[in-house]
Amino acid sequence: MNTTIDSMELVYGKTEALTETPMHYCPGCGHGVAHKILMEVIDEMGITENTIGVAPVGCSVFAYMYMNVDMLEAAHGRASASATGIKRVLPEKFVFSYQGDGDLAAIGTAETIHTVNRGENILMVFINNGIYGMTGGQMAPTSLSGMKTSTSPYGRDCVSMGSPLKITELIANLPGAYYVTRQSVHTPAAVRKLKKAIKASFEAQKEKKGTCFVEIVSNCPSGWKMTPLEANDWMEKNMFPYYPPGDIKVPQGMK
Amino acid sequence: MVTLQRDETPKLMKGNEALAEAAIRANMQAYFGYPITPQSEILEYLTEEVPKRSTSVVLQAESEVASINMVYGAGSAGARVMTSSSSPGFSLMQEGISYIAASEIPCLLVNVQRGGPGLGTIQPAQGDYFQATKGGGHGDYHIIVLAPNSVQEMADFVFEGFRLAEEYRMPALILSDGAIGQMMEKVYLPKEGSLPLRQHDWAVTGKPKTRERNFITSLHMEPDKMETINLHLQDKYRKLRKEERYELFNVKDADIILVAFGLTARICNKARELAAEKGLRVGVVRPITLYPFPYDILASLAGPNRVFLTVEMNSGQMVEDVRLAVNGKSPVYFRGRMGGMIPTPEDLLLEMEALAEKHTLINQAVR
């Protein structure tokens, strides 16, 4: 039996705040979803024309190829400093930075802490997958204890290599941090929560409340040498106990 | 060089303060810096004066690394932006400057040099010539380098630096030293507002519906694309050569030509006067733009029966460019002091007398 459908209601589509450029990310990687959610919020809030993004060095170095807003590609570790420069001269615009763990929590630690400490009115998105993806799977500041990487082939030894850095809890202590939360993108429910957090961050930025910091605990199937499903499973079992998802600092009155 | 509109009455100011005041008058929209001797007066002056007089941004960053990357951000957003530092701090900025040069973002940099290497000394030196003129950071790039030799030029070159930076979309550097930064002199300040702000269609300011997004990047993964960018930059540097600036004193009949920039050029002029009293015919060439370096004028002055003496407060850096320009047509000598020591006109006179003896250059008319 043939059925003819005359008209269909469009219930979901790609946001225009993403470009048509195919993303280069590995299958199962969280970056694609994180990009999409960030840009969907910007689109839905109607702030595409007033938003400037700062891309990092790392796997998401090409974020400016995918995000259909004005963007600057910063030096390694310095995204929040460059975002500060943009926001200070364009205080009425929306500014976000997007960085991975090596960028934000190793080489850029000083910039991260001082940007938040000044309470810069920006959104800092922090992708934490516990590894340097782009350079081929080296140990990151957030690599878990015992985690094997190409530069910790016998597992991360916290005595000689330091312990995985909970930078998000650290910056949450600073007065300039307004809203600090840890989210993930591995399930539909998690994605919805992330979207809410990003939206709340831009709403706070409009009110000039201070720095909003959204960590996204993510995966790295290639770097972890797992299938996408294994990676998400491993992330839940190993990353979440050390980096538990949920709000870390929520201002009074924020929904 | 555009003729500047200046105040009719002079002020007595420190070099660093005149520079900072000129920045305000040049409609600088943002400054990011970090304290370091001997240039901290710039940050101090701006943090005190700007809130009283404008809405411009002045921010003390957590480091020179952060400062230069804030400059990158603000410049990318189209603002007229500046930072300043001294030698060790300026070294820390080199990575950021490379990015800014690659991305073709205009900005004004200031290096009030001190002696090095390492932590060195806070006394004046010219040891950052190589770093300033040959790129400084990684990759193939140059920045515009202006070398002031007076408090007046500390102020003037702020205007000239912003103008050149914006015209050529590249960083411009005022390469000064601790003596010029700290000394007080009469200065006729450029008039406020005499350098109108420009709109930049490439800036990241938020994408209106009427245009495609702007993105600023220095990343070009494909070798052919990267080389295209490299060639474009080199082409721009060739065009920049028309901005070469220098001063000549008495070079026409000179047997000895002193070549010096910044503070040492002043000393050379005094030495030239002393030498004249002794019957020596001495001229002075003062390169004002160290990049683009005025090779052609030096080349045109080179020839037999003439020697060059380059004087610097370093171990011999600009002298390499002088030798390139002279290209073996005249002997090129070097006299330098380091570590914060400053050559004296009397030192240079002795040096010139020895050269005259060696090359039998005593003025025939006097003889």
What residues of B are in contact with residue A55 (Cβ under 8 Å)? 217
pLDDT band at B212 (very low <50, low <70, confident <90, very high): very high
Structure tokens at B170: 């590249």
Q: Is A204:A249 a contact under the CB 8 Å cutoff?
A: no
Asked if pLDDT for residue B367 goes beyond 70, the answer is: no
For the domain B245-359, what is the CATH code? 3.40.50.920
β A94-100/A51-55 pair status: parallel
Q: Choose the closest CB to B215 out of A71, A90, A114.
A: A71
- The distance of A134 to chain B (nearest Cα, Å) reads 13
Of A73, A89, A111, the CB nearest to B74: A89
B11-242 and B245-359 share one CATH topology?
yes
Mean pLDDT of all residues in B108-124: 98
**CA-based nearest residue to B272, from B259, B263, B262, B261:** B259
Q: Flag if A52 and B204 touch (Cβ within 8 Å).
A: yes
Bridge partners of A115, per DSSP, are none
The sign of the CA dihedral B353, B356, B357, B361 is negative
Distance from CA of B69 to the nearest CA of A (A): 5
Two tokens, residue A170: 């650290």
Query: Distance (Å, rounded) from C-alpha A31 to C-alpha B102?
Result: 27
Overall average pLDDT of the B83-93 stretch? 98
Residues of B in contact with A54 (CB under 8 A): 73
Q: Are strands B246-249 and B282-287 parallel, antiparallel or unpaired?
A: antiparallel
**CA of A27 vs chain B CAs: smallest distance (Å):** 21
Shortest distance, CA B85 to any CA of chain A (angstroms): 17
Domain boundaries, chain A: 31-249
CATH of the domain spanning A31-249:
3.40.50.970
With pLDDT > 70 as the criterion, what percentage of chain B qualifies?
98
Q: Report the C-alpha gap between A72 and B100 in whole angstroms.
A: 11
Q: Of B117, B27, B126, B30, which is closest to residue B75 (Cα–Cα)? A: B30
CA pair distance B345, B274, nearest whole angstrom: 8
Tell me the chain A residues in contact with residue B79 when contact means C-beta distances shorter than 8 Å. 89
For chain A, 255 residues long, give each residue's pLDDT as a single digit of tens: 677 777 888 899 999 999 999 999 999 999 999 999 999 999 999 999 999 999 999 999 999 999 999 999 999 999 999 999 999 999 999 999 999 999 999 999 999 999 999 999 999 999 999 999 999 999 999 999 999 999 999 999 999 999 999 999 999 999 999 999 999 999 999 999 999 999 999 999 999 999 999 999 999 999 999 999 999 999 999 999 999 999 999 998 776
Over B138-191, what HEC string results?
CCCCCCEEECCCCHHHHHHHHHHHHHHHHHHCCEEEEEEEHHHHHCEEEECCEC
Which one of A24, A66, A70, A206 makes the best mutation probe of the B interface by having the most chain B beta carbons within 10 Å?
A70
CA distances from A166 to A106, A158, B228, B240, B272 (A): 11, 14, 43, 49, 65
Å from B15 to nearest chain A CA?
27
**A55: nearest CA in chain B?**
B217
- pLDDT of the residue at B365: 45
- What are A's interface residues with B at a Cβ cutoff of 8 A? 19, 48-52, 54-55, 61-62, 64-65, 68-75, 78, 81-90, 93, 110-111, 113-114
Residue B47 CA to residue A22 CA, distance in Å, equals: 47
Instruction: Give the pLDDT confidence score for residue A252 in this predicted structure.
Output: 87
CB atoms within 10 A of CB A175: 10
Confidence of residue B126 (pLDDT cuts 50, 70, 90): very high
The amino acid that residue A169 corresponds to is E
In this prediction, residue A235 carries a pLDDT of 98
Of B338, B300, B356, B361, the residue nearest B113 (C-alpha): B338
Angle at B141 between CA B174 and CA B291, to 5 degrees: 40
User: Any idea where the domains of chain B sit in the sequence?
Assistant: 11-242, 245-359
Residue B96 phi, psi dihedral angles, 5° rounding: -65, -40
What is the 8-class DSSP label of residue B93? T
Q: Which of A190, A69, A210, A183 is nearest to A127 (CA)?
A: A183
Nearest by CB: A49 against B76, B95, B209: B209
What per-residue confidence (pLDDT) applies to A3?
73
- Superfamily covering domain B11-242: Thiamin diphosphate (ThDP)-binding fold, Pyr/PP domains (3.40.50.970)
Question: Is beta strand B11-14 parallel, antiparallel or unpaired with respect to B184-187?
Answer: antiparallel
| Mean pLDDT, residues B263-288 taken together | 97
- Distance between CA atoms of residues A30 and A20, nearest Å: 19
Among candidate residues A214, A153, A138, A158, the one with its CA nearest the CA of residue A183: A214
What's the pLDDT at B362?
55
Phi, psi of B311 (to 5 degrees): -120, 125
Q: Report how many Cβ contacts below 8 Å link chain A to chain B.
A: 127
CB spacing of B72 vs A72 below 8 angstroms? yes
Model-level pTM greater than 0.90? yes
Q: Is A56 exposed, middle or buried (0-12, 13-18, 19+ CB in 10 A)?
A: buried
Write out chain A residues lying below 8 Å of B206, CB-based: 49-52, 69-70, 90, 93
B242: which strand partners?
none
ipTM: 0.96
Q: So what's the pLDDT on residue B366?
A: 46
Q: How far apart are the first and last CA of chain A?
A: 51
